[in-house]
Amino acid sequence: MESAALLRLLQISDSAFPTGSFSHSMSLEAFHEAGELRDADDLGRVVGLHLSTLATSDCVALRASYGAELEEAFRVDRLLSATKLTRELRQANASTGKRFLLSVAALGAEGATFGAFTNAVRGAASPGNLAVAYGVAAPVLGVGAEDALRAYLYSASSSLVAAGQKLVPLGGGAAQRVLYALGEEMEWAAKTSENTVVDEMHAFAPTIDARSMLHERQRTRLYIS
């Protein structure tokens, strides 16, 4: 990867990039409420569970949308939304994806498919899932598919670990050790996605879905539901 593209990739996958992901716990808050998120080991387990679902859904969608024609990007976006079984997860992915696209566009990124897809998401004509947004934006930033995929996995894991760090709570060093240990699972997710075609995307994690549904109605919350 060229150094300029690497810097752009680091920027868009950084926690400071304005996607609003810090406002979402993706069900972790409900795990904590249920007494299933109490220490660093629990956090690693729950984030690992999320990664197992991304391997056969978000990662597949990112690969399929990378360099795709506009209509195919729309189709992949709709299919990915169909794998998000709870309203909370669908809305979180759409919200962060839309903000990601608008933020990348604000940097001056240009491209026919990227521009049309961003406008469609802005007008609510397509869900705008974050993984698809990454796939559509990466080519105009000069970033390859494999690099974009791993940056997406790292960014998603980092966001979840940060949420868990507040909930447990954990010190900064402990949280970073959890994130570091998840590296093998991130790579596993990236490799696993190579074996799933877009029409067979799926996400089987009933525990996450159940906790997400509970979080939608949880009375006290730090995070958006």
Tens digit of each residue's pLDDT, the chain (225 residues): 799 999 999 999 999 999 987 777 888 899 999 899 999 999 999 999 999 999 999 999 999 999 999 999 999 999 999 999 999 999 999 999 999 999 999 999 999 999 999 999 999 999 999 999 999 999 999 999 999 999 999 999 999 999 999 999 999 999 999 999 999 999 999 999 999 999 999 999 999 989 988 776 666 655 555
Q: Which CATH superfamily is domain 3-13+27-212 in?
A: Urease accessory protein UreF (1.10.4190.10)
What separation, in Å, do the N-terminal and C-terminal C-alpha atoms of the chain show? 38
Cβ(136)–Cβ(61) under 8 Å? no
Q: What is the pLDDT at residue 189?
A: 98
Query: What's the confidence (pLDDT) of residue 23?
Result: 77
Each residue's pLDDT tens digit, 125-173: 999 999 999 999 999 999 999 999 999 999 999 999 999 999 999 999 9
Distances (CA, A) of 15 to 21, 57, 131, 157: 8, 22, 16, 11
CA 11 to the chain's CA centroid: 16
User: Which pTM was predicted?
Assistant: 0.94
**According to the model, what pLDDT value does residue 51 have?**
98
pLDDT tens figures, 168-179: 999 999 999 999
Task: Write down how long the chain is.
Answer: 225
Residue with tokens 């604000």, as numbered in its chain: 106
Q: How is 60-94 classified by DSSP, letter by letter?
A: HHHHHHTT--HHHHHHHHHHHHHH--SHHHHHHHH
